[in-house]
């Protein structure tokens, strides 16, 4: 039987997205200038850096110049500079070009990109600076000593469905670190535990999320130019908050997706299927005409904004990027804020190393650095905007206007949020037409323009070891049956964009949940949106999950 090896490091970074990589790069630079030699170790659950990265993406790039001051900007693999930036209001077959940019939404000077490619590039830069990067390892547990974080442990492998050790059992590694950085992205599974253990969200708004479903297409020359950027509002959404995006990339590729706030009420709402309906709109269908699907994926985004940020540090640990909730609403941009938060955490960490003090007393500087950075400038003025849309589009737009004239304060002060899982209505309470009734004539995929979930999942390259404990767990099977399945109609079968959840009905009409964890794309919607006692998502074996190459 293998026992856990212990590895010691100065810094452990959990997650190889833009925020974790920026922390690593900037900290390596700062320690070098201070003449300090320290070990920085970054662990990523994807088989390679980038394989679990999904974004739109149109990026505000200035922060990359600060992160990599010695690099020629043209070397960073951004795609195309934005050449056209339009907002469309869609009805079922019509469109109105909105003649102005809603505030905060202009993409002037921004670049389109594959965030996965950017992360691969950043990983190379980090390694050149001496950072050790280990992809293919999932971090599953936080290590504590006397109630303080002392690092984390990677998952045990070689266990069966029940958790029994098999012949190939391999205990995970204990990684002990002076400082641990949580950079797990949206709804981080360990960050969630850290926030709960230390009550870091006390007095803060509930974090709320949206789900983005995306496809990458290859289209005939002339359908869309590199750098052409479109955002859409309206069809096929009704009461749901959200919209579509279409980004023209080099080599006749186009990235497109639909992002929908998870605070909707309809228990049968299905973002994947809404996305397929959206593609049938003539404006989108024309852009895709003659093209082919290349890749598919889904991921959530934290949308709560400034008032939903948890306390960002505890003794020996800090939180960066989407795990903290650094995302600019309504631009729906988190990459530059992820990088910026990583840089501020790195500055704090460098000071902690020079004082050899990793307590909250030193790490609280992180708050001041955030307030002095572009993060505050981007997030504070928009702190009340998203909450307004919980009451529908009209109320949301009026509140948006109020925020604009009051510098974000609004007329009634801080607006609250409600957890996404609590906004879903029971089937008996939802009085409007259910999603699948609304679009019943549009939900049959033609496998040319529109696809079912199984086909789309195939285009994510997803793969999970058969022998492991299912990484999605129904928290209370009894209440799940009576509440989630019977009262709510099992929303998981609709909100999951990769068909992980299936309801099987036997000949007596009994309904039973079947879980296909092998399809999971790690979007975490099930952890966020399941009503009642819900579902918990944790990391599967390292290297398992999607294998995105260009997202």
Ligand X SMILES: Cc1cc2nc3c(=O)[nH]c(=O)nc-3n(C[C@H](O)[C@H](O)[C@H](O)COP(=O)(O)OP(=O)(O)OC[C@H]3O[C@@H](n4cnc5c(N)ncnc54)[C@H](O)[C@@H]3O)c2cc1C
Positions touching ligand X (CB under 6 A) are 14-20, 43-46, 52-59, 115, 138-139, 183-186, 188-190, 212, 214, 257, 259, 299, 301, 321-323, 327, 332-336, 338, 539
Cα angle: 119, vertex 373, 308; to 5 degrees: 80
**Nearer to ligand X among residue 87 and residue 332 (C-beta):** 332
Residue 106: Cβ-neighbour burial (10 angstroms; 0-12, 13-18, 19+):
middle
| Residue found under tokens 């950079």 | 183
**Nearer to ligand X among residue 45 and residue 281 (C-beta):** 45
- Least separation in angstroms between CB 299 and ligand X: 4
Which one, of 425, 206, 157, lies nearest residue 304 by Cα?
206
**Nearer to ligand X among residue 40 and residue 485 (C-beta):** 40
- Least separation in angstroms between CB 228 and ligand X: 14
**Nearer to ligand X among residue 135 and residue 532 (C-beta):** 135
- Least separation in angstroms between CB 336 and ligand X: 6
- Least separation in angstroms between CB 321 and ligand X: 2
**Nearer to ligand X among residue 174 and residue 214 (C-beta):** 214
Backbone angles phi, psi at 534, to 5 degrees: 70, -160
- Least separation in angstroms between CB 482 and ligand X: 32
CA 372 from centre of chain: 25
**Nearer to ligand X among residue 16 and residue 489 (C-beta):** 16
**Nearer to ligand X among residue 186 and residue 399 (C-beta):** 186
**Which positions ≥6 away from 87 have C-beta within 8 Å?**
97, 98, 101, 102, 105, 230, 231, 232, 233
Q: Are 21 and 14 in contact (CB under 8 A)?
A: no
**Nearer to ligand X among residue 212 and residue 267 (C-beta):** 212
Whole-angstrom distance, CA of residue 551 vs CA of residue 549? 6
- Least separation in angstroms between CB 315 and ligand X: 20
- Least separation in angstroms between CB 529 and ligand X: 15
- Least separation in angstroms between CB 441 and ligand X: 27
According to the 3-state scheme, what is the secondary structure of 140-203? EEEEEECCEEEEEEECCEEECCCCCEEEEEECCCEEEEEEEEECCCCCCHHHHHHHHHHCCCCC
């Amino acid at each position: 039987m293998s026992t856990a090896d212990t590895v010691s490091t100065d810094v452990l970074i959990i997650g190889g997205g833009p925020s974790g990589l920026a922390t690593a790069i900037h900290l390596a630079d700062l320690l070098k200038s201070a003449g300090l030699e320290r070990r920085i170790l970054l662990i990523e659950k994807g088989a390679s850096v980038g394989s679990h990265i999904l974004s739109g993406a149109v990026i505000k790039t200035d922060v990359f110049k600060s992160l990599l001051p010695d690099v020629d900007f043209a070397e960073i693999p951004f795609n195309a500079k934005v050449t056209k930036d339009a907002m469309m209001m869609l009805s079922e077959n019509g469109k109105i070009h909105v003649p102005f940019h809603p505030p905060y939404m202009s993409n002037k000077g921004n670049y389109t990109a594959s965030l996965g490619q950017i992360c691969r590039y950043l990983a190379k830069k980090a390694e050149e600076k001496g950072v050790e990067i280990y992809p293919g390892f999932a971090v599953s547990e936080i290590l504590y000593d006397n109630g303080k974080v002392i690092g984390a442990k990677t998952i045990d492998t070689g266990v069966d469905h029940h958790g029994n050790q098999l012949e190939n059992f391999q205990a995970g590694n204990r990684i002990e670190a002076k400082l641990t950085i949580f950079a797990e992205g949206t709804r981080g599974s360990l960050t969630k535990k850290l926030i709960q253990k230390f009550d870091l969200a006390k007095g803060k708004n509930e974090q709320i999320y949206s789900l983005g479903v995306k496809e990458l297409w290859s289209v005939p020359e002339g359908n869309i130019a590199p750098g052409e950027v479109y955002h859409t509002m309206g069809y096929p959404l009704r009461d749901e908050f959200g919209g579509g995006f279409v980004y023209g990339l080099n080599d006749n590729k186009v990235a497109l997706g639909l992002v929908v706030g998870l605070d909707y009420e309809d228990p049968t709402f299905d973002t994947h299927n809404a996305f397929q309906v959206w593609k049938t709109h003539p404006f989108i269908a024309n852009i895709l005409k003659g093209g082919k699907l290349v890749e598919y994926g889904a991921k959530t985004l934290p949308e709560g904004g400034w008032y939903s940020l948890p306390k960002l540090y505890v003794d020996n640990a800090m939180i960066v990027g989407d795990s903290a909730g650094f995302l600019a609403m309504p631009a729906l941009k988190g990459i530059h804020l992820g990088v910026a938060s990583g840089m501020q955490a790195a500055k704090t960490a460098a000071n902690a190393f020079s004082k050899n003090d990793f307590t909250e007393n030193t790490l609280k500087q992180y708050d001041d650095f955030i307030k002095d950075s572009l993060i505050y400038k981007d997030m504070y003025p928009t702190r009340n905007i998203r909450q307004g849309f919980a009451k529908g589009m009209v109320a949301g737009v009026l509140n948006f206007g109020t925020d604009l004239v009051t510098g974000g304060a609004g007329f009634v002060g801080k607006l609250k949020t409600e957890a996404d899982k609590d906004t879903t209505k029971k089937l008996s309470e939802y009085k409007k037409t259910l999603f699948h009734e609304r679009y019943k004539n549009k939900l049959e995929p033609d496998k040319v323009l529109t696809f079912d979930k199984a086909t789309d999942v195939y285009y994510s390259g997803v793969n999970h070891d058969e022998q492991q404990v299912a990484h999605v767990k129904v928290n209370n099977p009894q209440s799940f049956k009576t509440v989630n399945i019977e009262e709510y109609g099992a929303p998981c079968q609709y909100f999951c964009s990769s068909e992980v959840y299936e309801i099987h009905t036997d000949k007596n009409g009994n309904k039973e949940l079947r879980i296909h964890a092998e399809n999971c794309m790690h979007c975490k919607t099930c952890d966020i949106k399941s009503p009642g006692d819900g579902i918990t998502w944790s990391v599967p074996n390292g290297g398992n999950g999607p294998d995105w190459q260009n997202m």
